[in-house]
């Protein structure tokens, strides 16, 4: 009996095989990793559902996203406060998190706390997904580009400034096969199979590489040659749109930058993070900032604690996963004062600078979990009444509260 008990105990403590990190992605304040075996882990800020664990809780350490178990995920990408994943075998693109402006691609602006496939992309063979602050781009194997989400500066490349709640094909690339895309906060770039580089969207800081500060509503070819030197490395863009880099890289094979934190994977299969850690986005089991890289032990081959990763254990019947904007947000019309060119929203350590004339949903009344709980409803009503009494808000015809 004692021998059987000892054998059982030994089996329970046997370390699982190490799963190296294949892909990493950093959002504004959350992080996602794809491990071998199609395992997805997420950690950091979770108040908008961007972690996909079925709740709005932060996670201070990498946590397995159980809702995607068995879906054979091959890529993961973070937007600012939302996340996407792609299953090659299922030919499905999944999205979850903050849904404002249609960035999730499900035809509405509701938040989603667990992954859901985007119907408009079903059965498409996707080779790459890029997410900006509030918009997404997807490149198919055939070289076509789909875009959706926020479009106030033309970053979707559709020829308008109207948001798109569902993915739409970029007609501007008809006859052009796209190899890869990248998404900035409010601008986008693409590289064609022939090496040509294109830019579109917000161009105020010359970020499109087109020689001016103008926005572009459709992709425009970049003809400018550019070169830049860093501390110990150099990057150059040739006249045919090819990007080259050389210099010191210290055997880092992959890197991803969030708003204020960075993730890196080394050649030795170790994962490091540094920067802001307020919401646990560094994955060290704490909420402290880091001024230098620190190894994320549960994701690293040299981690002293071994690869012990908790699971979210999501139960689809446990509660509501959709939350509509009216339940969580106060809508702020254009509150830009004369002479002011941007609106800055501050709350819970976040800062958002948006272009002039933009309409932004400010998340002022966010509960700790779901806004549908009675306690959260009471808190929201109390906050709204206080704002109304003070003259900051008014009650609209449809019963919602809006700022004056």
DSSP for 67-111 reads: GGTTS-EEEEEE-SSEEEEEETTTTEEEEEE--GGGTT-SSS--E
Sequence ranges of the domains in the chain: 19-311, 324-403
Mean pLDDT on 338-349: 36
Query: How far apart (Å, rounded) are the C-alpha atoms in residues 245 and 308?
Result: 36
Q: What is the mean pLDDT of residues 162-185?
A: 96
19-311 CATH:
2.130.10.30
Q: Is the four-CA dihedral 184, 187, 191, 195 of positive or negative sign? A: negative
Q: Mean pLDDT: which of 139-153, 187-201, 315-329, 337-351 is highest?
A: 139-153
pLDDT at 381: 65
Q: For residue 375, what is the enclosing H or E element?
A: helix 374-389
Residue 209 vs residues 234, 241, 375: alpha-carbon distances, Å:
17, 11, 50
Q: 157 and 172 in contact (C-beta within 8 Å)?
A: yes
The pLDDT tens digits for 81-128 are 999 999 999 999 999 999 999 999 999 999 999 999 999 999 999 999
Comparing CA positions, the residue from 354, 366, 349 lying closest to residue 132 is 354
What are the two backbone dihedrals, phi and then psi, of residue 377, each rounded to the nearest 5 degrees?
Answer: -60, -45
Q: What is the dihedral of CA 381, 387, 393, 396, to 10 degrees?
A: 20
Query: Tokens in use for 151?
Result: 């479009």
Contact 149, 164 (CB under 8 A): yes
Q: Which residue has the higher pLDDT, 190 or 11?
A: 190
Task: Compare 349 and 225 and report the one with higher pLDDT.
Answer: 225
Let me know: does 394 contact 402? Beta carbons within 8 Å.
yes
**Is the pLDDT score of 252 beyond 70?**
yes
- The C-alpha atoms of residue 308 and residue 197 are separated, in whole angstroms, by 43
Give pLDDT, residue 337. Answer: 34
For residues 264-290, give the mean pLDDT.
92
Tens digits of residue pLDDT in 24-56: 999 999 999 999 999 999 999 999 999 999 999
pLDDT at 311: 85
CA atoms of 31 and 62, how far apart (whole Å): 8
Task: Choose the most confident range, by mean pLDDT, from 67-71, 334-338, 362-366, 388-392.
Answer: 67-71
The overall average pLDDT reported for the chain is 80
Contacts of 174 (CB under 8 A, 6+ apart): none
> What is the rounded distance in angstroms from the CA atom of residue 257 to the CA atom of residue 156?
22
**Cα–Cα distance measured from residue 62 to residue 19, given in angstroms and rounded to the nearest whole number:** 13
Beta-bridge partners for 254: 265
């996407």: which residue's tokens?
A: 84
At residue 2, the pLDDT reads 47
Q: pTM score > 0.75 for this model?
A: no
**Whether the Cβ atoms of residue 91 and residue 122 lie closer than 8 Å to each other:** yes
Secondary structure percentages of the chain, helix, strand, coil, to 5:
10, 40, 50
């Amino acid at each position: 009996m004692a021998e059987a008990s000892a054998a059982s105990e030994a089996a329970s403590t046997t370390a699982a095989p190490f799963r190296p990190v294949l892909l990493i992605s950093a959002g504004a304040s959350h992080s996602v990793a794809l491990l071998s075996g199609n395992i997805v882990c997420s950690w950091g800020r979770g108040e908008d559902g961007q972690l996909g664990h079925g709740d709005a809780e932060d996670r201070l350490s990498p946590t397995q996203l159980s809702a995607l178990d068995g879906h054979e995920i091959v890529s993961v990408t973070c937007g600012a406060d939302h996340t996407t994943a792609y299953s090659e075998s299922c030919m499905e693109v999944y999205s979850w998190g903050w849904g404002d402006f249609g960035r999730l691609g499900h035809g509405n602006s509701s938040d989603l706390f667990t992954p859901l496939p985007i119907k408009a992309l079903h059965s498409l063979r996707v080779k790459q997904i890029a997410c900006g602050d509030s918009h997404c781009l997807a490149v198919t194997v055939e070289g076509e580009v789909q875009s959706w989400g926020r479009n106030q500066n033309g970053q979707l490349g559709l020829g308008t400034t109207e948001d798109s709640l569902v993915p739409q094909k970029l007609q501007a690339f008809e006859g052009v096969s796209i190899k890869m895309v990248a998404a900035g906060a409010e601008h986008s770039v693409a590289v064609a199979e022939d090496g040509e580089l294109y830019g579109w969207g917000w161009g105020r800081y010359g970020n499109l590489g087109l020689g001016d500060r103008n926005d572009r509503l459709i992709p425009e070819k970049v003809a400018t040659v550019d070169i830049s030197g860093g501390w110990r490395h150099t990057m150059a863009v040739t006249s045919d749109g090819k990007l080259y880099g050389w210099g010191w890289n210290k055997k880092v094979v992959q890197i991803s930058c969030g708003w204020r934190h960075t993730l890196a994977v080394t050649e030795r299969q170790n994962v490091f993070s540094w920067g802001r850690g307020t919401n646990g986005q560094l994955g060290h089991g704490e909420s402290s900032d880091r001024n230098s890289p620190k190894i994320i032990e549960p994701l690293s081959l040299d981690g002293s604690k071994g690869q012990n990763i908790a699971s979210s254990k999501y139960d689809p019947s446990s509660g509501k996963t959709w939350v509509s904007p009216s339940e969580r947000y106060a809508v702020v019309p254009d509150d830009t004062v004369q002479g002011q060119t941007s609106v800055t929203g501050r709350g819970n350590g976040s800062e958002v600078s948006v272009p002039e004339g933009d309409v932004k949903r400010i998340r002022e009344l966010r509960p700790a979990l779901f806004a549908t709980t009675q306690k959260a409803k009471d808190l929201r009503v109390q906050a709204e009444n206080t704002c109304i009494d003070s003259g900051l808000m008014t009650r609209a015809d449809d019963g919602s509260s809006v700022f004056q």
